[in-house]
Structure 1
Amino acid sequence: MAANYPDVIPMIAYEDGPKAMDWLSSAFGFTERARMLDNGGRLSHGEMQAGDGVIMLATPTPDYQAPRHHRESCEPARKWSTVPYVVDGLLVYVDDVDAHFARAKQHGATILSGVETNQNGKLYRAEDLEGHRWMFMQR
């Protein structure tokens, strides 16, 4: 499997993997590489290309709770959601952070911070449709 894969690949669980793949494509501009569904239509393995990186996705079990739903029943997680930082999330470099921000916002991403320039560079932070946190930085 190592051919055509980067050295590190994030693996993310989603309640509705097929919907997440469609959304990640439209909102964040990722390209679908693979989609394997089980007999019940649940995503057993998915791959998205983001620049030269790869993200793997799956829906692990029917009772899995994505971050957005987990926060509804977990007070410490709910408190953390008020902070706009991406500590347990993904960082993706893009060529045009302003255009990427506009696209993500247009497709319903929850914007955690607008485009800003700080000591790390030009970036913005967002949550996807199930509450996973992402930071996008200008390449």
Structure 2
Amino acid sequence: MADTSTIAPAICPALLYRDAKAAIRQLTEAFGFRRTAIYESEDGTVLHAELVYGNGMVMIGSRGRGGVFDEAMSDAGPCGIYVVVEDTDAHHRRAVEHGVQILMPPTDQEYGSRDYMARDVGGNLWSFGTYAPKGPEIVG
């Protein structure tokens, strides 16, 4: 895979967790994300964190700290996120070793990808697989 770690993503999912520190720990240790920024309040609440995987990024924060985004997200359900990985089976083994809840083991898909699905500590669904979308080709 080409090194795309210096390309700033144009779209970044933003997720809030009741225990943002546990989420950051799980995403980095079990799924291989790298922490690039974390901002905490004086009491240690995660205000904003940025985690990267390849050229993708997810922004993390703590639920219940107030503000427009927190209030708007108060009734939001879990989110589903797809991440391209080179070796689905190795990535899956790492997640299992860290006690991640696996919803679907590595499975060959009809469209040529090999994927697995997991649930994080906040209830969000993460799919990891070898299918790589072609990018921003405009259709229709």
Q: How many residues align?
A: 117
Counterpart of 1:23, as a letter, is Q
Say if 2:94 is the partner of 1:91. no
Name stretches of at least 5 consecutive residues in structure 1 with no aligned partner.
Answer: 65-69, 71-76, 78-86
TM-score computed with the length of structure 1 as normaliser: 0.76
Query: CA–CA distance in 1 between the matches of 2:124 and 2:117?
Result: 11
Query: Identity of aligned pairs, percent?
Result: 31
Describe the superposition over 1:1-55 as per-residue Cα deviations: whole angstroms up to 9, x where unpaired. xx95211100011111122111211000000000110112110000001111010
What does the per-residue CA deviation read over 1:62-92, in whole Å, with 9 as the maximum and x for residues that have no partner?
Answer: 598xxxxx9xxxxxx8xxxxxxxxx941000
After superposition, where does 1:102-121 map in structure 2 within 5 Å? 102-120=93-111, 121=113
Higher helix share: 1
Equivalent-residue separation in structure 2 for 1:48 and 1:89 (angstroms): 16
Equivalent positions of 1:1-139 (< 5 A) are 5-61=8-64, 88-120=79-111, 121-138=113-130
The root-mean-square deviation of aligned C-alpha atoms, in Å, is 2.2
Which residue number in structure 1 is paired with residue 3 of structure 2?
Answer: none
Give the 4+ runs in structure 1 shifted more than 2 A. Answer: none
Letter in 2 for 1:104: A
CA contact (8 A) 2:88 2:114 kept: yes
What is the CA–CA distance in structure 2 between the aligned matches of 1:46 and 1:19, rounded to whole Å? Answer: 12
Could you list the runs of 5+ residues in structure 2 that have no partner in the other structure? 1-5, 132-140
Using structure 2 for the length normalisation, give the TM-score. 0.76
The one-letter code of the counterpart of 2:105 is: G
Q: What amino acid is aligned across from residue 41 of structure 2 in structure 1?
A: D
